[in-house]
Chains A and B, each alone.
Chain A
Amino acid sequence: MPQLSIKDHLYESQLFLGRAIVSGVLVILLLLVLAGRLFYLQIVGHDHFITLSKDNRVKLQPLPPTRGLIYDRHGLTLAQNLPAYSLEITPEKVPDLDATLRALSDIIEISDEDIQRFRRLLKQHRRFDSIPLRIRLQDDEVSRLAVNRHRFPGVDVKATLLRDYPQGLETAHLLGYVGRINQRELEYIDLSNYSGTSYIGKNGVEKSYESLLHGQVGLQQVEVNAKGRVLRVLEDQPPTPGDNLRLFLDMELQKIALDALGDFNGAVAAIEIKTGGVLTLVSKPGFDPNLFVEGISNEAYQALKDSIDNPLFNRAIRGQYPPGSTVKPFIGLAGLEYGVVGYHQETYCPGYYQLPGQEHKYRDWKKWGHGKVDMEKAIVESCDVYYYELSRTLGIDRLHEFLTGFGFGQPTRVDLTGELSGLMPSREWKRSKRNEPWYPGETLIVGIGQGYFLATPLQLAAATATLANQGHHIRPRVVASIEKPDGSVQESPKIIDDLQQLDPVHWNQVIDAMTLVVEGAHGTARAIRSDRYRIAGKTGTAQVFSVKQDEEYDEETVAKRKRDHALFIAFAPADDPQIAIAVVVENGGHGGSVAAPIARRIMDHYLHQDGT
């Protein structure tokens, strides 16, 4: 028995030894599998995982650039970025949010709307994000908060830069404004460059120069933890601020133009003849662009939109008016140039004109007629019959060709967006748009700047500048120079598109006639004659063909809105032209009495900057 026991013992011992060795081998094999797995992850997949690890922890944060400033020609600030104070709350630092909100509303005004927006943002953000409660804090609110600061952990007053237009409505149409980027704009902007920006130019200079004003976004590489909290900055690439723009605009002229328009609606465009620079571009009424920056309230926007005066409408480049008699110098020049009429060749004006074989009488504004009229008299006294005859002789084709050369019927391509082209009618146009032939009578109406003929105030000013420059056409431009962040200044390009060389005698004849409009004893604008310098001009009256009969308005208002638009184009000094102006006064009546004095005030100021 003992022997058996010993034998068993040995057998069991050897059995166990075998199993222990198998176990040991199993252990080694499985650990090798594990090591293989680690080799696979740490050597083979290392590059992949190191990228994932970096993606995990390194995030790019955009640093928005500061938007470029806009100045007038004398360096007066037109658009700037002002620090605006906002009240922000970091939820994770606030022990009792409701109590804090209650206590804060005792110190500063917090509307229900503010609270609602805050609650909404609260859900969208992480607990360590700073969430705005109130924006555009008043100075006294900021100081009251500062005094009570210790009571509110997690509540901060933060300064952000908000676009500000110190000249307010006086530059509203020209500069436009910035507003929050909307869905449509998101589709075409460079998303990476706008990653830290919430505003974009919506109109005017702010829109057309958006790419320069915006600047280049900066980037900050930051290390974040799993919850997205920024722990440290790894790399910093500062943003490049936007370019500053200096305009040709003279803010003084702009104010004078607005003031001179008085209670009338209308538009004024003034161009520096030597440069094509836009000195004044006024559309009245205006609006406060600052309202749009931080989001205009719905009621305020509706009020602006629904106003019968249409304050959001930029009349200067989008208002298309019949140019009326202001086109007469251009058509006169066409007659001389095409050789169909001599300057001193006379026509008899009985007060009306009839096409051969037609009964219809085309009336002159002067019922009893001007008598014997040559081109000079026709321009000075604005004789319609002379121009009926002249334009009939020229025909619509030549009228169209010649006036198109002055830019009528096509956009001036000024550096602003949204400009409309006006309308210079032609046979082709009528056939394609109306599917009708051109009637001879329509040529007569075009000859006095009525009918289908439409022009924008800026177009009229540009044509006047080209006339004053004797065919030397410079494309109108608003921005004079671009100031880069490195301090270098880049002049905006002067784009020249001269008319074909015309006979200088003809230019001088027409300019002389225009001078007599103001200087002559019978000139329609003789009231604005100046002793200091000579003005060349032309008055015009545009019939208001269609007025929407709005029943909310009483008879008197409707009657006022049916009144003719008063127009005036001018340049001065007549012998050395510096400034060209077009004035449109809606429902102003007569150009000579209403529109011309506005031009005079602008020219006075521009030509005599000392104010005398």
Chain B
Amino acid sequence: MSEIPKSALSFQESQPARPSGLLAWLHIDLPLLTSLVLLAALGLAVLYSAGDREMMLVQKQMIRLGVGFLAMILLAQIHPDHLRRWSPLLYLIGILMLLAVILFGEAGKGAQRWLDLGLVRFQPSEMFKITLPMTIAWFLADKRLPPTLPRLLVSGLLTLVPVLLIAKQPDLGTALLVASAGAFALFLAGISWYLIGAVGLAMAALGPLAWYLMHDYQRQRVLTFLNPESDPLGTGYHIIQSKIAIGSGGIGGKGWLNGTQSHLEFLPERHTDFIFAVISEEFGLVGVSALLCLYLFIILRGLYIATQAQDTYSRILAGSLSMVFFVYLFVNAGMVSGLLPVVGVPLPLISFGGTSLVTILIGFGILMSIHTHRKLLPT
């Protein structure tokens, strides 16, 4: 810390006051990068086990990780000011794409989520995990905080439109994450606690309405969550087998590649949404606690970056992105361990699957950008 004032005296405004070198030149935050790479590497090791030593699976995931990290580094180069300016535009494009999905999208697993753009299939709902906090941050950062009620209502509307469009696909998991991104953006913007309490009460009251709007399979998931043993071979099977996997792991776990629940195929979705159960089974409470610590470090680093950010837009954005990452983790781990209903949310950076992985790493690219493009102001 003693270095900072010294650098602060420097008149080279364009050059941030931190150790120069390749990482600095690339606008990379070393603690974040290290922990993310460590997480990804662990993820690959678990994936190798969960996918029954299928190297193809690991290679595919490595390619995705490569793309993701590349995207992260690219994003880190973009100055937050540019991001702020593009925010509304990206939001509008996103909404149009969501409408396009509903009109022309490809169906898969009973839901319409994909948009075929010729070369790549693209899931527009994913980008809202980033563009929604960007837009809200952009909207609120204009005026003084905490936001006035009309501005709050507009922000709420900005959140509600994409969330409803995504829930309509239906994709409850993504809708939940996007909604939480909007909610955390507002929370970080400083809306009053009374309002938070009121919204909480309203949500509880709207529960029955949500139940009414749910698809049958979503209702079934909620029912199964409340009592998985009621349907052990049907919808309750996932959660029962997953709890068996976690519980049978014990303190030290069964060892890497030795998880019987996963290797003998009792555990469904073991390399995607339920990979957390594989980790718990093979590495036990010790291993899974270490993993949670690593996640915690990443989240706290993100929040720290947010507090260090120099403008409201960056702060809200960085904070929201960090919290979305946490929601990812908590919803997935909570679902797999039977705390929350089954919602299709992957374990960030570990579950097999491309789109969310790239989204998450883009988010961290933005965090790095925010952190590394700081101007040092005189205190």
Interface residues of A (CB under 8 A from B): 8, 11-13, 15-17, 19-20, 23-24, 27-28, 30-31, 33-35, 37-39, 41-43, 45-46, 48-50, 52-53, 56-57, 223-227, 231
In the complex, B257 has a CB within 8 A of chain A: no
Contact, CB under 8 Å: B145 / A226: no
**B249 lies within 8 A of A42 (CB):** yes
Q: Which of these, A15, A39, A231, contacts B146 with CB under 8 Å? A: A15
B339 and A33 within 8 A (CB): yes
Which residues of A lie under 8 Å from residue B12 when comparing CB positions?
Answer: none
| Inter-subunit contact A19/B248 (CB<8 Å) | no
A27 to B106, CA, bound (A): 36
- Contacting A at CB under 8 A, from B278-295, are 280, 284-285, 288-289, 292, 295
Given contacts A20-B303, A49-B243, 6 further A-B contacts (CB under 8 A): A16-B315, A23-B322, A24-B303, A38-B289, A50-B247, A56-B260
**B306: which A residues are within 8 A, CB to CB?**
16, 20
Q: Taking A20-B307, A34-B337 as contacts, is the C-beta distance between A56 and B264 under 8 angstroms?
A: yes
CB-contacts of B319-339 with A (<8 A): 319, 322-323, 326, 330, 333-334, 337-339
B352 within 8 Å of A (CB atoms): no
Rounded to whole Å, the gap between the CB of B145 and the closest CB of chain A is 5
Smallest CB gap from B311: residue in A: A9
Nearest CB to that of A56 among chain B residues?
B266
Chain B residues within CB distance 8 Å of chain A: 144-146, 184, 187-190, 241, 243-251, 260-261, 264-266, 280, 284-285, 288-289, 292, 295-296, 299-300, 303, 306-307, 312, 315-316, 319, 322-323, 326, 330, 333-334, 337-339
Query: When the two chains form the complex, which single residue of B145, B247, B289, B300 contacts A41, counting CB atoms closer than 8 Å?
Result: B247
Query: Are A16 and B288 in contact, with the CB atoms below 8 A?
Result: no
Q: Known: A53-B248, A56-B260, A57-B264. Is A34-B243 also a contact (CB below 8 A)?
A: no
- Docked pose: A290 CA to B62 CA in angstroms: 66
Question: If the complex has contacts A12-B144, A35-B292, are A19 and B337 also in contact, measured as CB distance less than 8 A?
Answer: no
Residues of B within 8 A of A41 (CB): 243, 246-247, 280, 337-338
A38 and B280 in contact (CB under 8 A), knowing A16-B190, A46-B248, A49-B248? yes
State in angstroms the CA–CA spacing of A30 and B339 once bound together. Answer: 11
Query: In the complex, are the beta carbons of B261 and A53 less than 8 A apart?
Result: yes
Q: Contact: A46 with B266, CB < 8 Å?
A: no
Residue of B nearest to A5 (CB): B144
Q: How far is the CA of A367 from the CA of B366 in the complex (A)?
A: 130
Query: Are B315 and A42 in contact (CB-based, < 8 A)?
Result: no
Task: Collect the chain B residues with CB atoms within 8 Å of residue A24's CB.
Answer: 299-300, 303
Expressed in whole angstroms, the minimum distance between the Cβ of B262 and any Cβ of chain A is 10
Q: Which residue of B lies closest to A18 (CB)?
A: B190
Compute how far the CA of A546 lies from the CA of B262 in the bound complex, rounded to whole angstroms: 76
- Contact at A56–B319, with CB atoms within 8 Å? no
Would A20 and B319 be within 8 Å (CB), given that A27-B300, A31-B292, A226-B265 are in contact? yes
Residue in A31, A33, A48, A53 whose Cβ sees the most chain B Cβ within 10 Å: A53
Chain B residues, Cβ within 8 Å of A223: 260, 264
- Using Cβ atoms and an 8 Å threshold, which residues of chain B touch A49? 243-244, 246-248
Give Cα A34–Cα B279 distance, bound, in whole angstroms: 14
With A12-B190, A37-B337, A53-B245 already in contact, the answer to whether A43 and B251 are too (CB < 8 A) is: yes
